[in-house]
Chain A
Amino acid sequence: MRLLLTSATSGLGRTVAALLGPDHDLVLTDLTTHTGGSTNVTACDLGDDDSTDRLVDGIDAIVHIGYGGHFASASELLDVHTRCTYNLLTAARSAGVGRFVNLSTLRLLDDYPEYLTVTENWRSTPGVEPVILSAHLTEYVCREFGREGGIKIANLRLGFPLVEGDTAAAAGSGDSAALASDDLSAAISAALTADLGANAQSTDAPHPVSFRTIHVQSPIPGGRFLLKGAASILGLWEGQGVA
């Protein structure tokens, strides 16, 4: 599968590239300001011009860093996460790109106390800090494209912090919402091909389900967030975690 990865020179971008690189034909891209000296990264400012159209040409799926990318001012963050995401999705839908995986964050639900059984059916509670607000707005843009169809969008809310290694490493971190890099890799790989209509309320509808939010943290004992979506949509970690 030919994948396009955005914000590829950011910390999370580099981690995701390393995870997906061995199994996919990976096209790395980032904004012009972040690609100086990088010979393997395609510079693109994700404008509403031909450069974004060329970027998505021949791409099967896009993995988009919707949270945890580069540090920037509030204005820059809001611009990248709204306008650039909109431009990228517009170009991708027109080009027939089949799937878009947005990497968001479970920090959008951080207000809820740990004793609550928080699933994808709980409303997110973003604050006004630019980083978290931008993640929320990226989801908003994705949701509206998903509502209209034409491209399938998996919105993965990632646990925190990201821990290198396997599930045991996440369990050993002491953080109840931790996500191991091995589990992140498994979740993204599954999201690239999963039936987003699996176990949806509208499964029997004639139109395909084009947008699903899925919580992704490692399935550790005492895990903070329930993983119902990961199990039912991605086929991961059935019966694991929390208890």
Chain B
Amino acid sequence: MNILILGGNGMLGPWVVDALGDRHRLRITDIGEPPATTHEWRQIDVSSLDAVVDAAEGMDAIINLSVLRPHRRIAFDVNTRGNYNMMVAAVAHGIRRVINTGPHFQLAGPGYEDWDFDLNPDMPPQPGTRLYAHTKALGQEIDRVFTTRHDIYLQTLLFYHLYDPGDIGNGPGGSGVESLGKDMMVPYSIAWPDAGEAIRCAVELPLERLPTRAETYMVFTDIPHAKFNNTKARRQLGWQPRYHLELLWNKSDPRPGA
């Protein structure tokens, strides 16, 4: 499959490229510097409609990993209008598979998270007005509207805390050290390799197995909190997490020999 990756050299991009490996022909794009890769590379700004449409030519699928958090104008440019540009590009080139990504709170904002449990990906979005969540939710809504008018299948994978499993608990500065055994984590966490693998599962899922043209998944590892629900990601995508990040939610290291 020929796949365009937007925002492909950010934090998640390299893990997605690793997961897709040599199984597909990738066109990696980013506004930043090029990665060390053997795949095709282009430097583009997703807020440029012409650049995104041009980059999508000849592609079978688009994966959107682009994100901008703190700057008000650029957040709207990337997180909101970038999605519009992506969907226009999909229409222009007859691309039927679009994979979008974002944080869980673009759907399950404070109105849910501060109150409820068993939060799932088929709830109506309530992102609230925090910039990051709000702009990503607007982008997601643009994507959804396009699927109501065009033969495009949208799969949205929601992440939040991403960890390198080798870092957790391994000394000062290792992510998660400060929260070890204190349950300070947001109960929505995943290891980077598992996140990349979830996107590979989405890419390779036959479109005819999608119940609707817009499906959303909460993607995090199996954890006992029951705050959020990852069942749909496991069942529909056929995805299994390999890392369970036990150190983040046990009082002591539960691993054999620890």
Cα(A188)–Cα(B176), bound, Å: 53
A69-119, CB < 8 A from B: 74-75, 78-79, 82-83, 86-87, 89-90
Q: Which residues of A contact B150 (CB under 8 A)?
A: 128
Q: Which residues of A contact B141 (CB under 8 A)?
A: 136-137, 140
Q: How many A-B residue pairs have CB under 8 A?
A: 69
Chain B residues touching A, majority SS: helix
Contact A125 B76 (CB under 8 A): no
Max chain B Cβ within 10 angstroms of own Cβ: one of A86, A87, A126, A144: A144
- B80 lies within 8 A of chain A by Cβ: yes
- A196 lies within 8 A of chain B by Cβ: no
Contact B126 A147 (CB under 8 A): yes
Which of A78, A127, A140 interacts with B149 by CB under 8 Å?
A127
Contact B76 A82 (CB under 8 A): yes
- A225 lies within 8 A of chain B by Cβ: no
- Please give me the residue from chain B that is nearest to A87 by CB atom: B72
Max chain A Cβ within 10 angstroms of own Cβ: one of B126, B135, B145: B145
Which of A83, A133, A148 interacts with B145 by CB under 8 Å?
A133
Contact B81 A147 (CB under 8 A): no
B212 nearest CB across to chain A (Å): 15
Contact A79 B81 (CB under 8 A): yes
Interface size classification for chain B: 20 to 34
Contact A47 B73 (CB under 8 A): yes
- Please give me the residue from chain B that is nearest to A124 by CB atom: B145
Contact A125 B49 (CB under 8 A): no
B68-116, CB < 8 A from A: 72-73, 76-77, 80-81, 84, 87-88, 111
Q: Which residues of A contact B87 (CB under 8 A)?
A: 128
Mark B134-157 against chain A: 1 for CB-CB distance below 8 A, else 0: 110110011001101110000000
Contact B80 A82 (CB under 8 A): yes
Q: Which residues of A contact B77 (CB under 8 A)?
A: 79
Per CB-CB distance, the 5 closest pairs between chain A and chain B, nearest first, are: A83-B76, A48-B72, A128-B149, A144-B129, A82-B80
Task: A75-B81, A128-B146 are known; give 16 further A-B pairs, CB within 8 A.
Answer: A74-B49, A79-B76, A82-B76, A82-B135, A127-B145, A127-B148, A128-B145, A137-B142, A141-B138, A144-B126, A144-B127, A144-B129, A144-B137, A147-B126, A147-B128, A148-B129
Q: List 15 A-B contacts (CB under 8 A).
A: A48-B72, A48-B73, A75-B49, A75-B84, A82-B80, A82-B81, A83-B80, A86-B72, A86-B129, A86-B134, A90-B129, A125-B148, A127-B149, A141-B138, A144-B129
